[in-house]
Amino acid sequence: MAKIFPFQAVRPTRDKVCLVTCRSYEEYVNAELAAQLDFNPLSFLHILKPAYTNQETVSFEKRYKQVHQKYQDFKNEIILIKDKKPAIYIHKIVTKTHSFTGIIVGTSVKDYCNNIIKKHEDILEFRVQLLKDYMKFSEFNTEPVLMTYPDNKTIENWIFNCCHKLADFEFSTTKKEIHYLWKIEDTLEINWLQNIFEKTESLYIADGHHRTEALKLLSEENSENTSQDHILSYLISENNVKIYEFNRLIKDLNGFSKSDFIMELAKDFKIENKFQQPFQPLKKHQFGMYLDNEFYSLELKKDADLLETALETLDTQILYKKVLLPLLGIEDLRNDERIEYLSGKQSILEVKNKIDQGEFEVGFLLYPSNIREIKALADANQIMPPKSTFIEPKFRSGLVIYEF
């Protein structure tokens, strides 16, 4: 059964939180990153990229140690302070279209090893090693692993009541999001919540597979440091996550003419030409395609190969097995330079524009997966194809920090 733990978080002071917290480092374009680093001395980006001011090239280990030193500087300057008592935290994010509320806690590395915390994505070993070394030398983690738990009315009511109290933090971002944070440090209340989660059979990783595996390695490497036995986690009800698709853009037709390619597709799909009318799939096993200035609907024929396993029924796997691999010759979805991905958060007209500009020849639009598919894969110990889901909410760095 799932175990959760309170911890003493390091957090920005209340008056500085809106200046300190930032999006994940990779989300910034260069101009935006430079502006933040040049004009906001309190941004957590200065910790994440401490060599920015002199632009020096350093080894990974040296950079990680610089991250640790800059982090200590922020603490010494009272920009960041450590809570006096172990606590759990409720975090609410309100965007222009959605509202997400979850619980920030420590979860157990042992639960991950014992498959109580379940995964559905493959990992890249080199990324895991880099993350493990990063956390080893920096001695902190500020990016929680997003995990879902089954809908629970008792937890929902408790969160609802907590959110009616005055928040410890309330601030807005330049992306027009509003963030709230409540600290729960009452021992009886924490014990009550721990007991509820101990009755929860499984937690499912929605986002953060590499970080979870890195924390497992870190725990194995230094078994004497029990603080490394916990995973900084953001637990959210499975009905409160938002799952987007990743659409596929391909640079060529692998030697096929347009007519021959469509003829091959017709063996497995019912094809309808939508001409200039933008088309987005409305259900599973239906795909959109944009080719040569025209949109198409592709619907998997009912007499196509029988789909039995959770993996075989995934639209991303169907597209790979029926189109990308046999027709377009794309075997490695992660590394082939002929394929790129656009999240479903972006307009399908962005797919059209990239193809019209000649950068790509064909684009495929997918219907988003759902939490049931993710859980079925995880329960069956199967792995989703790369770039199958883009999941929200996304957490801000520097808001809640777990120290090792």
**pLDDT tens, residue by residue, 46-95:** 999 886 555 566 788 889 999 999 999 999 999 999 999 999 999 999 99
User: What is the b/e burial string over 342-377, where b = at least 16 CB atoms within 10 angstroms of the residue's CB?
Assistant: bebeeebeebbebbeeeebbbbbbbbbbebebbbbb
Q: Indicate the Cα dihedral angle 121, 3, 128, 57, nearest 10°.
A: 130
**What's residue 52's pLDDT?**
57
Residues 151 and 18 in one domain: yes
Residues 239 and 267 in one domain: no
End-to-end CA, the chain:
24
Residues 129 and 222 in one domain: yes
Query: Residue 387 falls within a domain, yes or no?
Result: no
Q: How many C-beta atoms lie closer than 10 Å to residue 26's C-beta? A: 6
Query: Residue 228 falls within a domain, yes or no?
Result: yes
Q: Does pLDDT of 266 surpass 90?
A: yes
Q: Does pLDDT of 150 surpass 60?
A: yes
Query: Residue 373 falls within a domain, yes or no?
Result: no
Query: Residue 116 falls within a domain, yes or no?
Result: yes
Residues 239 and 253 in one domain: no
User: What is the b/e burial string over 298-330, where b = at least 16 CB atoms within 10 angstroms of the residue's CB?
Assistant: bbbeeeeeeeeebbeebbbbbbbbbbbeebbeb
Residues 217 and 310 in one domain: no
Residues 179 and 42 in one domain: yes
Residues 137 and 251 in one domain: no
Cα radius of gyration rounded to whole Å, the chain: 23
Q: Residue 238 gets which letter from DSSP?
A: G
Instruction: Give the number of domains in the chain.
Output: 2
Query: Residue 386 falls within a domain, yes or no?
Result: no
What are the pLDDT digits (tens) for 274-284?
999 999 999 99
Residue 166: pLDDT band with limits 50, 70, 90: very high
Query: Residue 376 falls within a domain, yes or no?
Result: no
Residues 260 and 222 in one domain: no
Residues 100 and 216 in one domain: yes
**Rounded average pLDDT over 164-179:** 95
Residue 162: which domain range?
Answer: 4-243+392-403
Residue whose pair of structure tokens reads 């619980």 in the numeric block: 103
Residues 145 and 15 in one domain: yes
Residues 192 and 251 in one domain: no
Residue whose pair of structure tokens reads 């200035």 in the numeric block: 293
Residues 99 and 35 in one domain: yes
Q: Does pLDDT of 303 surpass 70?
A: no
Query: Residue 188 falls within a domain, yes or no?
Result: yes
CATH of the domain at 332: 3.30.1760
What are the pLDDT digits (tens) for 242-259?
999 999 999 999 999 999
Query: Residue 295 falls within a domain, yes or no?
Result: yes
